[in-house]
């Protein structure tokens, strides 16, 4: 286990704190993604089969650190695009009432924190991506493959609202760390 943790730390490490944050977030999302079907099964029971594809949807997130090693800007952009596509997919599978679209908020924040000011044009485009996708898709997910009970949708909405809030807090902490890492020392 210790060897795997050392490898993982080395895999996500980068001298650029923005790239390091992107790598950390990508791997954190990758590790969490396979658990979502379990949360869904706990909430909706046997109809959780609709989440089976979520169990393999984490692979693109694991590729982000490999991409950032070769092309840091492309890797950061890929993270925002993959996260946005993941939200669209989950919304289509679970329906709008599940509250998955609340995750566009931390996705937009993610785009805002991954780019230093010198990359502000890319930041602008990537920050706008989740908003534009939400505007284009917001009323298109009324017919998911499975309909859940109102109670199940309420629980899913709560789960996704809490997830969105926790991601925003985590991203805020990462931003604070980037700010500390980029300040010259006074020693």
Higher-scoring residue by pLDDT: 60, 111: 111
Tokens 């902490």 belong to residue: 173
pLDDT digits (tens, 9 = 90+) for 139-178: 788 888 888 999 999 999 999 999 999 999 999 998 888 8
DSSP assignment, residue 61? Answer: H
- The tens digit of pLDDT for each residue in 87-119 reads 998 888 888 999 999 999 999 999 999 999 899
Euclidean distance between CA atoms 132 and 31, whole angstroms: 27
Per the CB < 8 A criterion, the answer to whether 98 and 71 are in contact is no
Cβ atoms 105, 168 nearer than 8 A: yes
Domain locations in the chain as residue ranges:
25-180
């Amino acid at each position: 286990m210790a060897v795997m943790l050392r490898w993982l730390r080395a895999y996500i490490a980068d001298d650029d704190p923005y790239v390091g944050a992107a790598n950390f977030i990508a791997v954190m999302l990758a590790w969490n993604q396979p658990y979502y079907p379990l949360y869904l099964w706990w909430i909706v029971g046997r109809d959780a089969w609709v989440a089976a594809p979520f169990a393999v949807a984490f692979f693109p997130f694991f590729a982000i650190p490999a991409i950032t090693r070769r092309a840091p800007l492309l890797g950061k952009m890929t993270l925002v695009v993959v996260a946005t596509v993941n939200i669209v997919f989950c919304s289509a599978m679970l329906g709008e009432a599940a509250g998955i679209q609340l995750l566009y908020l931390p996705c937009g924040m993610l785009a805002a924190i991954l780019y230093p000011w010198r990359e502000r044009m890319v930041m602008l485009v990537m920050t706008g991506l989740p908003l534009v996708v939400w505007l284009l898709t917001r009323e298109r997910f009324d017919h998911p493959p499975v309909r859940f009970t109102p109670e199940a949708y309420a629980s899913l909405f709560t789960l996704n609202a809490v997830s969105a809030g926790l991601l925003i807090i985590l991203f805020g902490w990462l931003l604070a760390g980037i700010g500390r890492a980029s300040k010259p020392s006074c020693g």
